[in-house]
Amino acid sequence: MEKRWNILSSNAAATETLRQSLNIHPAICNILAQRGIGNYDEAKEFFRPQLDQLYDPWLMKDMDKAVTRILQATGRKEKILVFGDYDVDGTTAVACMYQFLKKFHTLLDFYIPHRYREGYGISKAGIDFAKENGFTLIISLDCGIKAVALISYAKELGIDFIVCDHHLPDEALPSAIAILNPKQKDCRYPFKELCGCGVGFKLITAIAEKLKLSKEEPYQYLDLVATAIAADIIPMNGENRILAFHGLQKANSNPNFGIKALSHLSGLRTALHINNLVFIIAPRVNAAGRMDDARKAVQMFIADNYEEALKYAEMLHSDNTDRKEADSSITEEALALIENREEWKQRKTTVVFQPHWHKGVVGIVASRLIEHYYRPTVVLTQSGNYAAGSARSVPGYNLYEAIHSCKDYLLGYGGHFAAAGMTLEIEKIESFREKFEEVVSSTINADLLIPEIDIDAEIFFADIKWPFYNIILQMEPFGPENLRPVFITKKVMNTGYSKIVKEEHIKFSLRQGHTTFTGIGFGLAGKFNLLLQKKPLDLVFKIDENEWNGEKTLQLRVLDLRISEP
């Protein structure tokens, strides 16, 4: 698949200021400047984030009300229910809050809604459970900001709500005792991009302060907060960077038993990095809700010992194996459907349906299909008497607006810019497919149907040395707004030793001047012919560390290549 290369522009003045004050390679100064770092002090905060830089939790609107009501409940010996969503953000948030409150309040339980029986967020079944079991206060985490009717229903039953959420509020807010959400219009909390677990962490911090507990008390949950930040793909700057940075240190020095057990089962024997949380820990936690019941994810995180955590981790690990099998087989079936319909291959959208596909993985499959056919994609399966599914977009295209334009064919839908879910009658799938194609075709910019690679800086092979790489490592944790740097090197030559491996990938051996590097290009076998032309090449890549027989070397992870311009 051809890609667009976008070399990011630089702030020359800021780059030069940083070069003079930091005395590091200009390319890294250039990247720092692109990311809003303009002087020595800002660079110091970036490279050495400190927990005392976190904002005062009392700046958050309603924090005083939330803390007062919780301490009132503990003083009166009320039953408190900690309620959270079934994904990583929700389950980690519940685990943090439950463990913290359990230290001084025993009349406590937690509730995770079942993905298929109850759906996302606050559920009537959850409120009824609270009523039947005598709970008078519910603390919701990573959900609740849109549950206006259900929280009113709880109020009628004599149950108070404290909502901790990070999703964008509607005009109408629920009638909760307190709403903690930095995205509220009148909330003066400076950092708006906390995840649900992050908002819960701020509440824990405020309660701990009110109870005059040690300042370090909330820090024992930082590895779970870092896991939520990584999994929720939120900006890795501001407070999120501080929390993730120190959360990773906690995960490597004294991890939560659940993180330790999942790391062991996945075969990870090296230090945890943010990408391990994203690709190893998070999928196993999410698999519990996708394939079965996410309650066991919380049980794993709150386990009192490693052996108990391992028992639940093995269940999650098994769920993830099932998830991968379902994901792989459904993706193969979906690709075959498209390949067998020539007219579908020419479209600007993909809509596929099979009644037997597992509902828990259709969103993942939609993302997989975009890797093959780069266009807005909907994957549907049968749910009861209806079709239900998930949609995913390509970067830059507002998928929710497109789905909204097709509302006449839908029974229900919801989502945001990049992803959405929907329900419709099975007999209307074909009509929806045509309408979705019509809407997207008329509104999408043609460039958005070609993948884009953002390139941070141009360097030479001779620049790629251990000191250079070690500074890049200090830019971790990586994530949105602070992605791992992507470089371009121009006019490199194939040494003649590059080869195709496993039919899909290229093992590179490339030379520029007197410097030679090896590298791997996953899925690039189709471009091997460019290497055979014996012409200079431009190369886009990330720098990786490779270890073989105890020896570490630097290698290139090649993202794309093309023949150099004369």
**How is the chain split into domains, by residue range?**
57-318, 341-449, 453-563
Provide the 10 A C-beta neighbour count for residue 320.
23
Backbone angles phi, psi at 334, to 5 degrees: -65, -40
Does 3.30.465.10 match the CATH number of domain 57-318? Answer: no
pTM value? 0.93
Contact by Cβ (8 Å): 352, 380: yes
Q: In this structure, what is the dihedral angle of CA atoms 432, 437, 438, 442, given to the nearest 10 degrees?
A: 140
What is the model's pLDDT at position 10? 82
Q: What contacts 424, CB < 8 A, 6 or more positions away?
A: 380, 386, 387, 388, 409, 410, 411, 432
What is the model's pLDDT at position 163? 98
What is the model's pLDDT at position 547? 84
Which residues are 515's β-sheet partners?
512
Q: Cite the beta strand spans of 61-195 per DSSP E.
A: 79-84, 108-111, 135-141, 160-164, 178-180
Q: How far is CA 304 from CA 102, 172, 246, 265, 390, in A?
A: 12, 41, 23, 19, 37
Which residue in the block uniquely carries the two structure tokens 């990330």? 542
Q: Which fold has domain 341-449?
A: Diaminopimelate Epimerase; Chain A, domain 1 (3.10.310)
Contact by Cβ (8 Å): 236, 229: yes
pLDDT of 543-557, one tens digit each?
A: 999 888 888 999 999
Rg of the chain taking only CA atoms, in angstroms: 25
Whole-angstrom distance between the N-terminal and C-terminal Cα of the chain? 23
Contact by Cβ (8 Å): 230, 277: yes
Task: Tell me the CATH architecture of domain 453-563.
Answer: Beta Barrel (2.40)
Please classify residue 566 by burial: count the beta carbons closer than 10 Å to its beta carbon, then call 0-12 exposed, 13-18 middle and 19+ buried. exposed
Q: Cite the beta strand spans of 153-259 per DSSP E.
A: 160-164, 178-180
Which residue in the block uniquely carries the two structure tokens 């990586």? 478
Among 226, 229, 327, residue whose Cα is nearest residue 272? 226
What is the model's pLDDT at position 1? 77
Number of H helices, E strands in the chain: 21, 19
Backbone angles phi, psi at 420, to 5 degrees: -155, 165
Q: Is the peptide bond before 477 cis (omega within 30 degrees of 0)?
A: yes
The dihedral of CA 197, 199, 203, 205: what is its sign? positive
Angle between helices 306-339 and 257-265 (to 10 degrees): 50
Contact by Cβ (8 Å): 224, 82: no
What is the model's pLDDT at position 2? 87
Residues of the chain under the 70 pLDDT cut? none
> 57-318 and 341-449: same fold?
no
The secondary structure element, H or E, covering residue 250 is helix 238-253
Classify 412 as helix, strand or coil: strand
Contact by Cβ (8 Å): 95, 281: no
Contact by Cβ (8 Å): 169, 181: yes
What is the model's pLDDT at position 395? 93
* b/e burial code for range 89-118 (CB count within 10 A of at least 16 → b): bbbbbbbbbbbbbeeebebbebbbbbbbeb
pLDDT of 190-242, one tens digit each?
A: 999 999 999 999 999 999 999 999 999 999 999 999 999 999 889 999 999 99
